[in-house]
């Protein structure tokens, strides 16, 4: 497998703080190709052999704005068994409900646009329900939990011009950790 030709923006790039625009259908051929490249990149980043070969950081999600295109599209790829993946292609997402329970990633969230260690936690909902569209413009509703819920919220933040580092309290990076569940 060849490494897809995508350029992931660094956190210093001001475009990452752009609010992405809704997508109109049908998707362009270029949009479909970019979605496929993003999914392939994420898969390759999760396979030890290709991650080492191409010196990649493991990633679970990518939003369109991270490749410099401010459209409301993101993908999440979860390895469910060795080299077997669940793919989520989410277009024009809207969170319609959340759990009361909040969680955070114990070792800290990461981001393919943030190439440094970041101390602190980001409060996230343990479960969310999202309305979105698939690549053919068909509406659907999906309820996600735990890791996938965090990934969805992280990517939706990207679409709203927010990086996870923006959500960490610089004076108290572990603020309210005792009120949330670590995952």
Burial 29-50 (b: 16+ CB within 10 A, else e): eebeebbebbbbbbbbbbbeeb
Report d(CA 162, CA 8) in Å as an integer: 16
Instruction: Give kind and range of the element (H or E) at residue 153.
Output: helix 146-159
Spatial contact of 163 and 157, defined as CB atoms under 8 Å apart: yes
Spatial strand order of the sheet with 61-63 comes to 61-63, 73-81, 84-98, 127-133, 139-145
Q: Collect all residues with Cβ–Cβ distance below 8 Å to 157 and sequence separation of at least 6.
A: 163, 164, 167
Q: Which of 79, 87, 155, 182 is catalytic?
A: 155
Confirm whether 155 is a catalytic residue: yes
Q: Which residues are catalytic?
A: 155
């Amino acid at each position: 497998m060849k490494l897809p030709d995508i350029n992931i923006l660094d956190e210093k790039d001001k475009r990452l703080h752009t609010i992405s625009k809704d997508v109109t259908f049908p998707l362009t051929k270029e949009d479909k190709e970019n979605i496929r490249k993003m999914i392939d990149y994420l898969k390759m980043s999760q396979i030890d052999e290709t991650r080492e070969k191409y010196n990649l950081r493991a990633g679970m999600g990518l939003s369109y704005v991270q490749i410099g295109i401010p459209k409301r599209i993101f993908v999440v790829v979860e390895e469910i068994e060795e080299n077997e993946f669940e793919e989520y292609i989410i277009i024009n997402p809207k969170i319609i409900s959340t759990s009361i329970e909040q969680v955070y990633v114990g070792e800290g969230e990461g981001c393919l646009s943030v190439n440094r260690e970041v101390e602190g936690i980001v409060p996230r909902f343990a479960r969310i329900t999202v309305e979105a569209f698939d690549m053919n413009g068909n509406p659907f509703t999906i309820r996600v939990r735990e890791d996938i819920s965090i990934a969805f919220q992280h990517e939706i933040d990207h679409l709203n011009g927010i990086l996870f580092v923006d959500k960490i309290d610089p004076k108290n990076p572990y603020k309210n950790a005792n009120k949330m569940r670590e995952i």
